[in-house]
Amino acid sequence: MTERVTARQRLLSAAAELFYAEGVGATGIDAITAHAGVAKMSLYNNFSSKAELVQAYLDARYEEWLGLCRDRLATASTPRERVLAVFDSYVDHAAMAYEWGFRGCGLLNAAAELPVGDEGRKTVARQKRDVEDKFALYLVEMGVKSKAKAQETAEHLSFLLEGAMSRAGLDGHDGRLKRARKMAIAMLEAL
C-alpha cells in the first residue's frame, strides 16, 4: 500500500528544494506552491506565513542531519571514530544535496539570509553548537585531560568542518570535506 503524501509534506519538499537551490529570499510563495502542485490556500492552511515555512524547512534539515549523524555514530566504536563520524555525516548530507546542485550547508545558506535574532538563525546556531559539543564530548572520552583543551580542540575541529563545508559549497562537491576529515585525523593523532 502506498503512503499518501500530504499537502504539507509536498510543500516542505518543494520549499526544501527551492530554498536550497535558489535561496530563501529568492523563492516566493507562488514558486513553492507551483513546485508542490498545490493551491496557494494549501500553503496557508499548513503554515501561517513564509517565515513559518522557512522555520519548518530549517527544523527538517537539522533533523535530517541528526539522522545521518546518528546512523554514522551507531557504527563508530571508539571516541576517535565518533569524531570522524560527525565529519562523515556532513559528507553524507552533501551527497543528498547533489540532485539540486550542491551549494554547501543549507542551514548556513538560509541563516545568511535571515535577520539577526530570527528563530531560524537560532536553529542553525543550535546545530553548529551540537556539532562542537559532540566533538568536545568525544575528545574527553579520548582522554584529553583538560576540559578547556577539549573545548578548544572541539572548536578547532568545528571551524575545520564548517570552513570545509563552505569551500565545498563553492566548489560544488565534497572534496574539501574529505580533505578536512584527513586533517582532523592528523589533529587527533597529535593529541
What is the structure's pLDDT at 2?
56
Domains of the chain with CATH codes: 1-47 (1.10.10.60), 54-190 (1.10.357.10)
Helix axes 50-74, 119-142, angle to 10 degrees: 10
pLDDT tens for residues 134-184? Answer: 999 999 999 999 999 999 999 999 999 999 999 999 999 999 999 999 999
pTM over 0.75, yes/no: yes
Burial 10-41 (b: 16+ CB within 10 A, else e): bbbbbbbbbbbeeebeebebeebbebbebeee
Residue 100 reports pLDDT greater than 80: no
Report, as an integer, the average pLDDT of 92-107: 88
At 22, the pLDDT band (50, 70, 90 cuts) reads: very high
What is the structure's pLDDT at 101?
82
